[in-house]
Amino acid sequence: MKYLFFLLTTTCILSFVSCKRACYRCTQYCAYCISKTDSSISYKICANAGIGNSRVDAERDSLQASNHYCSRLVDEKTICDSKSGIDDALVYFQKQDYYCTPKE
C-alpha cells in the first residue's frame, strides 16, 4: 500500500513538472489621433519590435502640432499558460496591438 501511494505521488509530481507554463509580458503603447478638421481621418501608431515608445511619442507630438486631437493607450498584461494554450493568447493580444516578449 505504501508503494502504491509513493508511485501515485511520484507520478503526479512528474506530470505537474512536465506541464511547464510559458509566460509572456505583453505591452500596449499606442497613440490614437483624430483630425480636428475632419473626424473621419484618424491615425493609430503603436510600439512594436521596430518602433519604440519614443517614436510613438514623437509621432503623437507631431500630429498634435498639425491640428489633431491625440491620446495615448498604455496597458500591460502578463499571460501564462501551457505551451499549447499560449499561442492562442499571443495571437489575441497581438491583434489588440500588444507587443509580447517572453518573461523569464
Rounded to whole angstroms, the Cα distance separating 87 from 60 reads 31
pTM tops 0.75: no
Instruction: Evaluate if residue 87 carries a pLDDT over 60.
Output: yes
At 1 the pLDDT is: 59
At 4 the pLDDT is: 47
**Residue pair 26/93 in contact by the 8 Å Cβ criterion:** yes
**Average pLDDT rounded to a whole number, residues 74-88:** 89
At 14 the pLDDT is: 42
* Per-residue model confidence as pLDDT tens digits over 42-66: 999 999 988 899 999 999 999 999 9
Cβ neighbours of residue 31 closer than 8 Å, sequence gap 6 or more = 43, 44, 45, 46, 56, 57, 59, 60, 63, 70, 71, 72, 73
* Per-residue model confidence as pLDDT tens digits over 62-80: 999 999 999 999 999 999 9
Give the Å distances, CA to CA, from 32 to 18, 74, 81: 43, 11, 31
Instruction: Evaluate if residue 103 carries a pLDDT over 90.
Output: no
- Sign (positive/negative) of CA torsion 35, 36, 37, 39? positive
